[in-house]
Structure 1
Amino acid sequence: MSALLPDIKSVPSGSEVRALTKIQKLAGLLVMLGPESAAQILRNLEPHEIEIITAEMAQFGIISQELQGELLGEFSDVAVEASTAISGGAELARSTLEKAVGAYRAGDIMNKIAPAKRASTPVMQDIADMDPRHIFNLLRQEQPQTVAFVLSFLAPDKASQVLALLPAKQADQVLERLATLAPTPVEVMEKVLEVLKSKLGVKQSRPLNQSGGVTTAADLLNAMDKTVSRTLLLAVEDRNPDLGGAIRQKMFTFEDLTSLDVPTLQRILRETDTHDLAVSLKKASDKLKSLLLSCISRRAAETVQEEIAFLGVVKAREIEAAQQRIIAVVRQLEADGELDLAELRRNAAYEMA
């Protein structure tokens, strides 16, 4: 979408404004409204909509008075005091997101839509090609922040193996640093690379992507042994409850129910309130909706479908709350030892291969 907006930093005429998409115009308006007001609007949107709009907000530079007037003409019910030029950009996008969805979720979204520019990193590629134990030997004496930095370049499976080799106290500190890792400036990366270069020879130059944040930490834990994963997460939750909760929430999403088998889903649904099921399916994918309705009796499925039809418009936060209550059932069953999510996911992946 941003490809349609190559020169937005210097839009000079109304004719170019008319070429913008509705999403781009809305993003421009939110920049003009400022973080506080924009956050109020973003809170009512779906997560994927927030990401799309925030990505466009980050593309805006200076919004001239002429462009402001053109945009306001598209939103006649909005009154904005705009006597000077207004700046958009990644920092405003991050500020708005933090007010709308909190710091951890904001960091996650910004990692997706505005990754830091970086040079090619051959040293990191060398490390990515190494055996997990060799990576562990390379990093065992490094600070948790440095270890987290390196793990952010690795695939979850390999990163989880390295993390499992670290002492428990060091491992949970690394996980916490990884979950709060922002895109790293090139100058900081270069300093870390200087240390690693002293331990490694450099091969060919190939670019790698860094991926820190709550989602990366959750993916890493999902790839680990269940007991080790639980121990690390509890340690993070004990030291930083908000961050630990954010990681736990990311470790299993509502759509992940599609990875579970029918007997497991039937067990989960026996503990689920019918109203919560109806609300949670209001915006669910057709695949998940069909799957869950097939796991209950025909009469119960008809009742849920009727309730969905009579619900009318449901706020996104109410749907998410209902989905989280169902996920809470899943977690409780796992805590009681009645199901093993990691094993079920591995089996599902094997069957799809």
Structure 2
Amino acid sequence: MAVGDKLTGVQKTAIVLASLGEQFAAEIFKQMDEEEIRQVGLAMSKLNQVDAKVVDAVLMEFLEKLRGDSGPLVGGSKTAQRALALAMGEDAARDIIADMERSIEPVPFERVKTVDSKTLASFIKSEHPQTIAVILSHLPQMKAAEVLREFPENLQYDVVLRISNLDVIPPGIIEEIDAVLQREIVSTEGAEAKQLGGVEAVAELLNNVDKATEEHIFGRLEEDDPEMAEKIRQLMFVFEDLINVDDRGIRTLLKEVRNEDLTVALKTSSEDLRAKILGNVSERAAAMIQEDLEVMGPVRLSEVEQSQQKIIQIARRLEKEGKIAIGGKGGEDVLV
């Protein structure tokens, strides 16, 4: 248990009463109203073992007494129940103790509720539909609906039908299902989930191939799945997309680009992009680049694309670092 500000007043009171014994706690309970007794009694029942250092921090006036061999503090439900019985009498304490026990009773599938819906669906979809029905019936309705949506249609129907026919289920069965599911979840918690594939991965891949390969793949994609092809295009970043970078971003980019790569890359660029880039360098540098372009002989297209790719990679790195904002083929500016 935490120390200081992380402990509530009720928790600190519970530690004090538990550390000073049942008789003392009983005397204090006699001075409390019923609601205070409920709160402190519940807090005592949840104490279990509290480290001696925590006890020292809460009971500073007894620092010397609790230091060293004082050992851990043992609280828990039994301590709270005995103290309540001493303070109020067994009959009067019975209702409070019952409320207290209900409050600390474990809730089935509590841990499962925090698992991502797709992940949970993958865990349980191979289970018997009756087992799935039991699990979903214990989840909040929105969570259950999200998980159900991930199942195949025939399984969806079977599970819903079984939920509608669920009757009283013995607690032992629910606890067993919960325990098995929790073990499966715990066994995967150390492994970080990683998104593999997807249109983002394809866009990243095509950003790094030559123009001929890109055009060939897009040609096939547009025949088979035009919508997917358009999604990938919108996620891609090509050299001409530098037109969407603001002047400050262009200047930041050019600081990291070699003049030789820039000159070759501009060989096939549009006039608008060339004007934008030359407008963000000094007049002398712009004149030198323009002169180099005019006297430059024929250059292999693969060399031009290679220089453009180098600049694209620098631009993407600067975007990830939050130093520039770039726009994709879809024409939307991306702010980072």
TM range (shorter): 0.3 to 0.5
Larger RCO (alpha carbons 8 Å, 6+ apart): 1
Q: Which has the larger radius of gyration?
A: 2
Give the TM-score taking structure 2 as reference length.
Answer: 0.34
- Give the TM-score, by structure 1 length: 0.32
